[in-house]
Amino acid sequence: MDDRNISRPTLSVTFRLFFTRPLSSDEVWQILPPRLSSPWVYGVDGKWLKRLGVFLLHRNVTIGENLYWSFQPSESYPALITDMAKLLELLDQVISGDNRRPIAAVSDWKGAIVNAVTAGFGDIPHQRCLTHVDRTAKALLPQRSPFEATLELRGIGEQLIKINSWVEVDTWLKWLDDWYDRYGLMLKERTKNPETKRGWWYTHGDLRRAWRLLTDYQKPFFEHLDCPILPRSNNSLEGTFSQAVNKLINHRGMAINQQVSFLNWYFTFTRVKNRSDLFKLWAYWKGKL
């Protein structure tokens, strides 16, 4: 029972219709088309639900508006490009003018996302989320490591997200060069064991992975420097998902289909800006029952 003396079975029956008939993002576009700014930056991220599928969210990060969402079996290129094609179709149908396409994108730089953004929007600046890079580097370079090389590379990695100019980029790259001059041999050091299938492994594997993370392809780290409205991280999307997941946590025990319905409703209501919008949604939903 809740504080209004409504039993759980009564609540379940009352809200069952909302779980069985959520509004899709396609329908929300018909009722409440987005308020795309010009220019705008595109962001995309996914949230796995009990490893049974991933809920994808496409967002205008410039004004914090959720554009399109779907539930897919995986965060794969086919899933992303399917969403992208639908989003492009909706943009062409509903929005007029040059603001239909983003001028840049930001993501966690998974390969499928990078390829889908290029296929959908062309060769636009695509910022790699520096919060993800910083988090990965810190996981590979523990703060309590006994190796000076690890601690120094961790310190260099921590400065990446703080860079605000190309002059600072040059300084940061010089720090990496200096680090390699002193500790580069550690990246090649091997431990041999003839009893294993390969017979050897890199002694400092995590250090090597962190070095490659920071040096293999640096261009996406600094796209934000030449595009003032392009953020250096995907934090707005992660924050949006965190709020939604917190709501799911407050309603433990929902089956996967109920979780998907809940998230559809959650992101639908993020497009509601006033009571008039709410009445439009209600009228449309009632008319479809």
Same-domain check for residues 149 and 219:
yes
Domain boundary among 174, 195, 226: 226
> Are 140 and 245 contained in the same domain?
no
**Contact yes or no for 156/222 (Cβ under 8 A):** no
Are residue 245 and residue 285 in the same domain, yes or no?
Answer: yes
- The residue behind tokens 């595009």 is 227
Q: Does 173 lie in the same domain as 90?
A: no
**Distance in angstroms (rounded) separating the CA atoms of residues 192 and 189:** 10
Residues 238 and 119 in one domain: yes
Q: Which range has the worst mean pLDDT, 112-121, 189-198, 210-219?
A: 189-198
235 in the same domain as 149: no
Question: Is 106 in the same domain as 154?
Answer: no
The span from the CA of 193 to the CA of 251, in Å, is: 51
Same domain, 5 and 79: yes
Q: Which residue, among 113, 115, 117, 147, has the nearest Cα to 132 in the 3D structure?
A: 113
The structure tokens listed for 178 are 């200096």
Q: What is the largest CA-CA distance in the chain?
A: 73
What six digits make up the tokens of 254? 């929902």
Please determine, for residue 142, whether its predicted confidence score (pLDDT) is greater than 80.
yes
Q: How many folded domains does the chain comprise?
A: 2
One domain for residues 136 and 251: no
Residues 14 and 113 in one domain: yes
CATH number of the domain enclosing 46: 3.30.420.10
Give the residue numbers spanning the domain of 235.
1-125+229-289
Q: How distant, in Å, are the alpha carbons of 69, 82, 90, 223 from that of 119?
A: 19, 11, 17, 19
Assign residue 57 a region: left if phi > 0, alpha if psi is -120 to 50, beta otherwise?
beta
The per-residue pLDDT for range 164-199, each reduced to its tens digit, is 999 999 999 999 999 999 999 999 999 988 777 778
Tell me the mean pLDDT in the region 94-123. Answer: 87
Cα–Cα distance for residue pair 116/128, rounded to 1 Å: 14
Asked if residue 217 and residue 139 are part of one domain, the reply reads yes
Instruction: Give the CB-side neighbour count of residue 252, counting CA atoms within 13 A.
Output: 1
